[in-house]
Amino acid sequence: MTIGEVLRLASEHLAKTSETARVDAELLLANALGRSRIELYTDFDRPLDESELGAYRSLVARRARREPVPYILGEWGFRRLTLSVDARALIPRPETEIVVERCLERLRGVDRPVALDVGTGTGAIALALADEHAGVRVTAIDFSADALQLARENVERSGLEVQLLEHDLRDGLPGGPYDLVVSNPPYVEPADLDGLMPDVREYEPHVALVGVGATEAVARAARDVLRPEGWLVLEVGDGQASQTLELLEALGYAEGTITRDLTGRERVVEARR
C-alpha cells in the first residue's frame, strides 16, 4: 500500500471516533515514518514496507481508542515552542495561546517584569512568556509533582529559565510582588466531567480539569502578591467569563476586560489590581 492509500484507509477508520480524522492520520503517519506532514504529500505514491505499516497500525489503534494525538506523539506545539506532553499534565490548548498573548500585551514595555504562572502543567504559559518577553523572570507553581516533573523536562528541553515550585494554590501564592499573575486553573464543574469527550475525560489528569473554586482562590490570593497596578490574567471555561469579571470587580480589581478565543468564545478575563 502507498502513503496515499494508507492515509485514506486510516482516515476512514478514525472518522468513527475523531472529528479530526484526516489530520490525525497524517500526523501519526508522519511520526511513524520520521517525516514532516508536508513530506507525505510529496511522496504520496511511495509504498510502505511491513515494518512501517506495523508501526503505523499501532499508532492508529491507539488513536481509535481515543488517546489524544499529542499524547501519542509525545510532543505538541505551543506558540513558538515544542513541548513534551504526556498523561502527567493537560495538553496545552489553542485558547491558552491567547492567554499568553494577553499577558505579553500587559507586560509590553515593562523592563524585567516578574510573573507567576499558577497551575503550570507542562509549563506552557510560563515558558512561552520566558520565550517571548526578554528579561521576564517567571515562577511557575503546581501541586502535582508529576506535572512539575514534566514542566522541568520542558524547561530543560527549551533552554529557557523558569523557576518551578511545588505549591498548592489553596495555601495562598508564593513570593512576589509580581507585575503579572496568570492562571489557567481547573474550571470544569464535577457534574460536567461525564459530559466531556472521552479523549479528554479518559486520558487527561482530572486534577487539571476539575476544580471547585480554583478561579476564585487564585483571584483572592493574587491580590496579596501582585504589585499595585499589576495584572491578573485568567483563562475561564466557556460561559464563565462574565461571572468571573463580576468576581474580580467585587474583589476590588479594576479595568476588567474579556477576550474571545479564535472560535468567538469568551475565554480570557483580565483585570488590574
Ligand X SMILES: C[S@@+](CC[C@H](N)C(=O)[O-])C[C@H]1O[C@@H](n2cnc3c(N)ncnc32)[C@H](O)[C@@H]1O
Residue 213 DSSP symbol: S
In this complex, which beta carbon is closest to ligand X, that of residue 22 or of residue 137? 137
Determine, following the binding rule CB under 6 A, whether residue 147 of this chain makes contact with ligand X.
yes
Q: Report cis status (omega within 30 of 0) of the bond before 177.
A: yes
Helix/strand/coil for 266: strand
Q: Is residue 28 within 8 Å of 10, Cβ to Cβ?
A: yes
Beta-ladder partners of 164:
140
Q: Is residue 208 close enough to count as binding ligand X by CB under 6 A? A: yes
Binder of ligand X out of 90, 129, 232, 234 (CB under 6 A):
90
- Min. distance of Cβ 72 from ligand X in angstroms? 18
**Closest distance to ligand X from the beta carbon of 169 (Å):** 4
Number of H-type helices and E-type strands within the chain: 12, 9
The stretch among 4-12, 42-50, 102-110, 167-175 that binds ligand X (CB under 6 A) is: 167-175
Size of the site for ligand X (CB under 6 A): 25
Distances (CA, A) of 74 to 47, 154, 164: 26, 12, 21
Q: Cell for 200?
A: 479528554
Nearer to ligand X, 64 or 67 (CB): 67
**Contacts to ligand X from residues 7-66, by CB under 6 A:** none
- The answer to whether the bond into 68 is cis (omega within 30° of 0) is no
How many CB atoms within 10 Å of residue 101?
16
158 near ligand X (CB under 6 A): no
> Per rule CB under 6 A, is residue 238 in the interface with ligand X?
no
Q: Quick check: helix, strand or coil at residue 132?
A: helix
Instruction: Kindly state whether residue 214 participates in binding ligand X, applying the rule CB under 6 A.
Output: yes
Stretch 118-137: interaction string toward ligand X, x if CB under 6 A: -xxxx-xx------------
Least Å distance between CB 121 and ligand X? 3
Under the rule (CB under 6 A), what is the footprint of ligand X?
Answer: 89-90, 92, 96, 119-122, 124-125, 141-144, 147, 168-170, 184-186, 207-208, 211, 214
